[in-house]
Amino acid sequence: MFFNFSVKYLTLFIMKKEFVSFLIICIISTSLMGQQPSGQPQGTQAPDILIGAGTNNTDLIYRVNGRDGKLYQAYLGSKLNETSALLKARDAGHQAYPVFGTGNLFEPALRMTHNDGNTSLELKYTSHNSEKPDPNVTLTNIVLKDPVYPVEVTLHIKTFAREDVIEQWVEIVHREAKPATIFIYASSMLHFDAEKYWLTQFHGDWAEEMKIQESELTSGIRIIDTKLGTRAHMYQTPVFFLALNEKSDENSGEVVAGTLGWSGNFQFLFEIDEKNSLRVRSGINPYASEYSLQPGKKFRTPSFIFTWSGQGKGTASRNLHGWARNYGLLDGTKPRFTLLNNWETTYFDFNEQKLSGLIDDTKKMGLDVFLLDDGWFANKYPRNNDRAGLGDWQENKAKLPNGLGYLVKEADSKGVKFGIWIEPEMVNPKSELYETHPEWVLRYPNRSEVYYRNQLTLDLSNPEVSEFVYNMVDGMLAKNPGIAFIKWDCNSMIMNPYSAYLKDKQSHLYIDYVNNLYNVLDRLRKKYPHLPIMLCSGGGGRVDYGALRYFTEFWASDNTDPLERVYIQWSYSYFFPSVSVCNHITSWGKQTLKFRTDVAMMGKMGYDIQVNELTEKELKFSQDAIANYKRLSEVIWKGDLYRLVSPHESNRAVLMYVNESKSKAVLFAYTLNSRYGEVFNRVRLQGLDPAKTYKIEEINVSTEGRRMGPSESGRSYTGDYLMKIGMNVGSATPLTSAVYEISE
């Protein structure tokens, strides 16, 4: 409701900094003349209203313009001392959620066709309110309505004060006589007015995920999107940095880090208009996805999650990590298991005896879980390669005559836990499931099937199929309650986007698939709230915060060559906390075991190697490294990450984690290459307490390969010294590494 006062500027609340997100300032301006907002009697001037949705260091402020009753984004950036000054601006800002057809000549956030064929919308502010789900979190809901058609759009803005993170999503509902069609339905539209805009984006493919590119945006439209159906990430990743005015680096520059919580087709659209203003639209990719919305049924978009930093990408990453651990990732602050996986050592070729040996190896290494990968199921078409068996989730009698239960017990008797691989959304054409239920499979009835990894995707838009997926997982867990870990894989995109179930609503497929997958995961999580599950998708193909609400970690890439992994893990670290990134030590690459171990240790470490082929020295080195990892994992998983030397700018990579009390840090240094005579200078550390004195100790020391260069190991320095003068790390020898424990 608009207030009918005639005072010039009236500030209703001046709140403390940490509660500014709660702030509502109503300003009544008599100086502004013009069109009346909806419902406003002729001749009176509605007040302008400011609606703040800020965090400790950021303000996102909307303004309801009294002249036209519409909602504008008045400000986004570093915290303002006085928000009411925004009302002095002659221009209300940019329309917060612009629509199609009523004067907007650029990309809309929402486009819809009504029952009568009319294609226009106009959204006017109706009301807003705030909720406080916890002292750190404020949820602001702003309701907009069309004055001509019964369409209501609610913008939800959830702010996380301490983490400086903002989450936005939108709910759309109409009460027309018949279904109306929505064509574009953004989660968020943000506006920027800077001199220049620098976009950092991430792209790749199987085994080459997260390659980084930075470029200046030019006028017109740039789109980053995918159309893969079952996952967001693979060719393009649903994350970006947007630097304003100048390029940002780790410690300087204004930068926004954004990501979409959606495990299907996503789209980020960047449009620079004729005035050099930039709009950033984030949401589900509207590609082939017009959605027919029943009257009264709410359409909820996924969340766009972003943080604004005035101190570069380092702060932006730490903000997102903090948010993810506390809110975005399942059990983000809880410990994780270390594990031995058998995929790269056995592939499909194993039996009970071999697995029993691997369970022994898990124990011998000091790891928590033995994880049995693909190949344990199917009888009519045994899963002995990736061409058969997917969908038939009964233990293969030749490989596992005594079933999974036997292996669970075997693991238990040896003091380790048992984990299992599944890929429940998929089917091989050579399977009993396909034979019995061809109608459950996404495929065109009148065309030949197109395969990716010899498999097809099940039609999760069909409730019967989601029920099958739920029952398959639930049934396995009910039968084997000792299963302590799951790896949930998804190796194909939607190659044949046709659902027998959806009939004339084929354009719902991409959206219904993901929402029904989330329903399955919701139900499973109600029953098994804390079971650790690794999210995997033929390499790093399904990494997004929509899915990570249900998963404790993700498989970053099938490429485990440690040289490649330094770059891949570096890129993930911009948006995802180390506790979620699974890194395994395998036999890829020719590097030393020490190098492979040190690289895996910067995140969630695991193994996928032939333990029985390790020499005695290597075994001892690994056991010690695992013990070090367990001792330091709290710092690595929960500490603040400082990326000190980038592999993209140097022949080495150096990063460190510092715990909250700044009493302990772990530093990782990797020398990737070196030119003749190249000098690697001291590295200045970050995040320490200048007044504290720290002892430096090199850990994971190995005599394997060439030794490291000058080392400060064993010495003590103040935090001030280490941050201003620095320390020597690693050596100039290519493919060597060093890990330092830095203790108060």
Min dist. Cβ of residue 242 to ligand DGJ (A): 31
Give the C-alpha separation, 534 to 400, whole Å.
Answer: 23
Give the C-alpha separation, 102 to 107, whole Å.
Answer: 12
Residue with smaller CB distance to ligand DGJ, 424 or 538: 538
Min dist. Cβ of residue 517 to ligand DGJ (A): 18
Q: Does 489 bind ligand DGJ (CB under 6 A)?
A: yes
Min dist. Cβ of residue 468 to ligand DGJ (A): 20
Residues 367-396 that bind ligand DGJ (CB under 6 A): 373-374
| Binding window for ligand DGJ (CB under 6 A); candidates: 27-35, 73-81, 259-267, 533-541 | 533-541
Site string for ligand DGJ, 320-359 (x = CB under 6 A): -----------------------x----------------
Give the C-alpha separation, 234 to 263, whole Å.
Answer: 11
Q: Does 539 bind ligand DGJ (CB under 6 A)?
A: yes
Amino acid in the structure at residue 197: Y
Residue with smaller CB distance to ligand DGJ, 164 or 608: 608
Give the C-alpha separation, 685 to 664, whole Å.
Answer: 13
Give the C-alpha separation, 421 to 407, whole Å.
Answer: 14
Min dist. Cβ of residue 537 to ligand DGJ (A): 7
Min dist. Cβ of residue 423 to ligand DGJ (A): 7
Q: Are 656 and 588 in contact (CB under 8 A)?
A: no
Residue with smaller CB distance to ligand DGJ, 536 or 614: 536
- Name the region of 207 (left: φ>0; alpha: ψ -120 to 50; beta: rest): left
How many Cβ atoms sit within 10 Å of the Cβ of residue 384? 16
Min dist. Cβ of residue 212 to ligand DGJ (A): 22
**C-alpha distances in angstroms, 136 versus 58, 80, 317?**
14, 19, 19
Give the C-alpha separation, 56 to 274, whole Å.
Answer: 34
Burial class (CB in 10 A: 0-12, 13-18, 19+), 192: buried
Residues 199-238 that bind ligand DGJ (CB under 6 A): none
Binding-site member from 327, 555, 572, 595 for ligand DGJ (CB under 6 A):
555
| Binding window for ligand DGJ (CB under 6 A); candidates: 164-172, 216-224, 256-264, 536-544 | 536-544
Number of DSSP helices (H) and strands (E) in the chain, helices first = 11, 38
Min dist. Cβ of residue 539 to ligand DGJ (A): 5
Binding-site member from 250, 558, 712, 741 for ligand DGJ (CB under 6 A):
558
| Binding window for ligand DGJ (CB under 6 A); candidates: 121-129, 354-362, 399-407, 534-542 | 534-542
How many residues bind to ligand DGJ according to rule CB under 6 A? 11
Q: Are 225 and 322 in contact (CB under 8 A)?
A: no
Residue with smaller CB distance to ligand DGJ, 421 or 575: 421
Please write down the HEC assignment for all residues of 295-340: CCCCEECCEEEEEEECEHHHHHHHHHHHHHHHHHCCCCCCCCCCEE
In the structure encoding, which two tokens stand for residue 212, read together? 């980084």
Residues 668-707 that bind ligand DGJ (CB under 6 A): none
Residue with smaller CB distance to ligand DGJ, 345 or 461: 345
Residue with smaller CB distance to ligand DGJ, 497 or 538: 538
Min dist. Cβ of residue 489 to ligand DGJ (A): 5
Q: Which residue has the tokens 């950021």?
A: 58
Residue with smaller CB distance to ligand DGJ, 47 or 539: 539
Q: Rounded to the nearest 10 degrees, what angle do helices 593-600 and 562-572 cross at?
A: 10
| Binding window for ligand DGJ (CB under 6 A); candidates: 117-125, 263-271, 532-540, 569-577 | 532-540
In the 8-state DSSP scheme, what is residue 676?
Answer: T
Give the C-alpha separation, 669 to 317, whole Å.
Answer: 19
Binding site for ligand DGJ (CB under 6 A): 343, 373-374, 421, 489, 491, 536, 538-539, 555, 558
